[in-house]
Chains A and B, each alone.
Chain A
Amino acid sequence: MRNVKARGLGLVAALAASLLAGCATTPASEPPVKFNHDPYPSTYRPYPGAPALLKNATILDGNGGRIDGGDVLIADGKVQAIGRGLSAPAGTVIVDGTGKYVTPGVIDIHSHLGDYPSPAVAAHDDGNEATAPARPEVWAEHSVWPQDPGFSRALANGGVTTLQILPGSANLFGGRSVVLKNVPARTVQGMKFPGAPYGLKMACGENPKRVYGSKGQMPSTRMGNIAVTRQTWLNAQAYKRKWDAYEAKGGEMPERDLAMDTLRGVLAGEILVQNHCYRADEMAIMIDLSHEMGYKISAFHHAVEAYKVADLLQREGICAAMWADWYGFKMESYDAIRENIALVDKAGACAIVHSDDPNGIQRLYQEAGKALAAGRRAGMAISEEHAWTWLSANPAKALHIFDKTGSLTPGKDADVVLWNGNPFSTYTRPERVWIDGALMYDANNPRLRPVSDFELGQPGEGDVK
């Protein structure tokens, strides 16, 4: 019935259009104006790097492969080769990796560096536009302060080479995320990962209903959360129909709406949904909601109860970004278990270790170690090389940048960490970190330790941190 009616309206519209076109005094309709989908483009270019051959290390390639006593050759910003007994052209820096590990750089899919920077003062509270429950119009990159000292800690102590900065979870629709290369820069554009798609931060559960319920506004309940979310998507669908028609046929340009632009981008598959959601039952509702409205959820973040619906996540092809052992800080984190990551992985779903924290991001590799140990204690056979996918291949896939980074595959960005020991251990630290083939951190060279403007001229400037 609805289809018939819609078709009927279409006929009327077509008739009207033909009548207009047939009128000699009316000019032909304007061709559609294309608006710029990338108005704040990345200005990042890889920094110069010397070709380097990392020799005789244990290599975890990030995609589940391992080479003992292996070599990695990086040059021209890319991984050139990986294997045993590689030779290198003259002028290549040879790095002895004996007793050390080489991995792709850690990718943190959930960070607030820059939008909740240090020092954590009110003037820096730029992560939540908590003025209405649906704020898809805000973009995290417009909050990111490139001078957040946390970026350097994530690099030097955590081996983090790529990270997604998200808006907070006060809102059902928090706004757009941005994916960054972890390189110091004067501007956020100078950090933006070239070609990485945008994400949309969504949230379910306690936070939105608490924030707005306390203001006497909708949503104040979980059902209110879902109602507002659905209505917002319905508005987005209407907006998309208008704009799709305009872009196909021209005519009068519809009004642009920044919020709806983002949601239309999601419905068109250009923007990835990154959904904060703790509880298993709520993940199931969000999955149905995504089917109802016609979009795909890329990853559930803070998926504390993912283990209860790991089979569902596997069927739907949705990643779960999780902590190793954080629990009990709020009601919806009460059922956290240590085996969450390993159990999601066992079910064949895409497991990711994430931080959401400027301290945790410095030890994601150790968090993966704890998750690995918990899984093994529960009887799961998990190899180190497989566990590293939780920190590289899987987050890269959930960010749609796996064609560019996330494994030591020849041709990919040379985002590489040399670790001074087993990279799951508390006893291990990054020794060197390359981003796009440029050496951005070297534990043996204090000059290769970035110092943010904020720390310049302060006690402890340039110290080991």
Chain B
Amino acid sequence: MSRKLLLAALLLSAAPASAQTIAIVRGTVAIGDGSAPIPGGTVVVHDGRVVAAGANVAVPAGARVIDAAGKWVTPGIVAGFSRLGLTDVDGVDQATDISSDGPFSAALDIAPAINPNAQPVAVNRADGVTRAIVAPGVGKSIFAGQGALIDTAVDRDPVTRPRLFQYVELGEQGAEQAGGSRAAAHVLLRNALREASELGRGLPAAVTRTPSQPDSQPVVRNPNESRLYDARRSQDVLLTRFDAAALVPVLQGRQILMIHAERAADIRQVIALSREFPRLRIVLVGADEGWTVAPELARSGIPVIASALSDLPAAFETIAATQSNIGRMRAAGVKVAIGTINDDDTRMAFRAREYAGNLVALAKLPGAAGLSWGEALAMVTSRPAEAVGLGGEIGSLQPGRRGDVVIWSADPLDNMAAAETVLIDGVEQPLVTRQTRLKERYQDLTPGVLPPAYRR
């Protein structure tokens, strides 16, 4: 009863709570930018944003003070690649919105499909995942549609950035979607860009990003670019008008093109694509064989969101997979982050911090390439945010970032730790889930007067 009231109170008080000033004191504070954790640090959040974090930070008058002595404080975990919010239960078709076999592909916008009440959102929130990069999955085309950045907060508005990127398959799956050959996938991609180009002719040029604003985000505000619908098209088209229109911002560099590829040869093709179309803002996802082409990847500047622990030749495109992939790519200067690519990506984003911990473990293993603790944390906080151009907004405790802060019972990269307090946009979140309720109902099996159904 009291828990329900608490939940209701949180829901109702969401807006005023964000205006609160919260000071988390005496914890071991990790900024999330790759730096080492700071013992006895302070984090101050005001009006939904981080104001300051680190040692020697003053507690503002009137702040709500949370004592984190003996605990760890980090930015919330950012799921670097996920399908969070797109399913309630994976195996139940009706409860799944990942992909579509309908007529559209690139035009699909995943934002309206996000369900903030889905249990996987709650489970991940309770485990310290505060934001997730969410991609649709492909249906009948190499283009899956437009992905979003979401938060996991208990509120009505889960979408932080809709239409953040277009997702395309260019490896084994891309070949399958294109009719059985990678050659076909590449022709389809180029044809799609040609059709978008024809449709986009006459539109204002792309927003130019200046180096001084690396994180300025030319968000695609209207995915349907409705004035394009009347534009003349040649007879020689494969894409629907909606799909072609959706690719105009990609072609103009206003929307990220997120490409999934694993094998070395495919990654080289992605690098070649970035030279052929210099305005494309490419992010590479997967890259199990990335370490074998790491210098080229580094030179290309293409950010990579990779699987951390993929180490099996699960497919012929991942023959060289090793857990040292991320460590080696990073050592070569590639901008890398961790994601859960086709790895229980609808539900298990919370494993990202264990994965990061495993990469720390590799540092002790002869011949392996591991990460420092600070860099490992960055791989699941700031690095994915930076990969999609939002490093100035989320993923670290640097001043001005959104107030996504987690207090952990212990070192969060070790699997003994649990999230004890979770703030999203400066608002404290409930950590109750169906799982915790079921545990409470069944932890004592002593028969009662009435059956367990009355126990709550």
Contacts and interface: CB of A to CB of B under 8 A. Distances in A.
A429 B361 contact: yes
A330 interface: yes
A118 to B, nearest CB: 5
Contacts of A327: 123, 347, 435
A153 interface: yes
Contact of B319 (A206, A343, A460): A460
Give the size category of A's interface with B.
35 or more
Contacts of A428: 361
Contacts of B360: 426-427
B364 interface: yes
A454 interface: yes
B292 interface: yes
A334 interface: yes
A366 B415 contact: yes
B54 to A, nearest CB: 25
Contacts of A331: 89, 91-92
Contact of A460 (B314, B320, B361): B320
B438 interface: yes
B353 to A, nearest CB: 9
Contact of A120 (B89, B315, B323, B365): B315
Instruction: Name, among B92, B364, B443, the residue most crowded by chain A CB atoms within 10 Å (CB to CB).
Output: B443
A120 B350 CA distance: 26
A98 to B, nearest CB: 15
A435 interface: no
B320 A366 contact: no
B415 A373 contact: yes
A338 B439 CA distance: 8
Interface stretch (A2-10, A290-298, A305-313, A392-400): A305-313
B89 A458 contact: no
Given A444-B366, A460-B321, A463-B324, A425 B414 contact: yes
Interface in A358-390: 358-359, 362-363, 366, 369-370, 372-373, 377-378
A402 B310 CA distance: 33
A429 B91 contact: no
B415 A119 contact: no
A458 B320 contact: yes
Interface string B403-433: 0000001000111111000000000000000
A377 B312 contact: no
Contacts of B436: 337
A206 B435 CA distance: 21
Contacts of B348: 325-326
Contacts of B313: 118-119, 149, 454-455, 458
A121 B346 CA distance: 23
Interface string A270-304: 00000000000000000000000000000000000
Contacts of B87: 328
A206 B361 contact: no
B344 interface: yes
A329 interface: yes
B35 to A, nearest CB: 19
B359 to A, nearest CB: 9
A426 B416 CA distance: 9
A60 to B, nearest CB: 16
A459 B292 contact: yes
Given A428-B361, A443-B365, A335 B438 contact: yes
B90 A426 contact: no
Interface in A421-464: 421, 424-429, 443-444, 446, 454-455, 458-460, 463-464
A330 B91 contact: yes
Interface string B262-306: 001000000000000000000000000100100000000000000
A378 B443 contact: yes
Interface in B359-373: 360-362, 364-368
B314 A369 contact: no
Given A330-B92, A334-B89, A424 B415 contact: yes
A348 B406 CA distance: 35
B416 A339 contact: no
Contacts of B364: 420-421, 427, 429
B322 A463 contact: yes
A324 B314 CA distance: 23
B332 to A, nearest CB: 16
Contact of B416 (A118, A343, A369): A369
Contacts, number: 166
Give the size category of B's interface with A.
35 or more
B314 A343 contact: no
Given A328-B90, A330-B91, A425 B416 contact: yes
Contacts of B198: none
A157 interface: yes
A361 to B, nearest CB: 11
Contacts of B357: 425-427
B67 to A, nearest CB: 19
Interface string B365-396: 11110000000000000000000000000000
A83 B361 CA distance: 29
Contacts of B88: 328
A362 B321 CA distance: 15
Given A120-B314, A327-B123, A460-B322, A377 B415 contact: no
Given A153-B311, A327-B123, A338 B361 contact: no
Contact of A426 (B123, B344, B365, B414): B414
B47 interface: no
Interface in B326-370: 344, 346-348, 350, 354, 357-358, 360-362, 364-368
Contacts of B413: 426-427
B415 A459 contact: no
Interface in A106-140: 118-121
A81 interface: no
A370 B314 contact: no
B268 to A, nearest CB: 14
B445 interface: yes
B435 A336 contact: yes
Given A118-B314, A426-B354, A443-B366, A329 B90 contact: yes
B119 interface: yes
A41 B214 CA distance: 66
7 nearest CB pairs, A to B: A426-B357, A330-B91, A460-B320, A459-B320, A465-B311, A464-B368, A373-B416
25 contacts: A149-B313, A150-B312, A153-B311, A157-B311, A326-B348, A328-B346, A329-B91, A330-B90, A334-B89, A335-B438, A366-B354, A373-B417, A420-B365, A425-B357, A425-B414, A426-B360, A426-B415, A429-B364, A443-B365, A454-B313, A459-B264, A463-B320, A463-B322, A464-B323, A464-B367
Given A118-B312, A459-B319, 4 more contacts: A328-B346, A333-B89, A363-B358, A463-B320
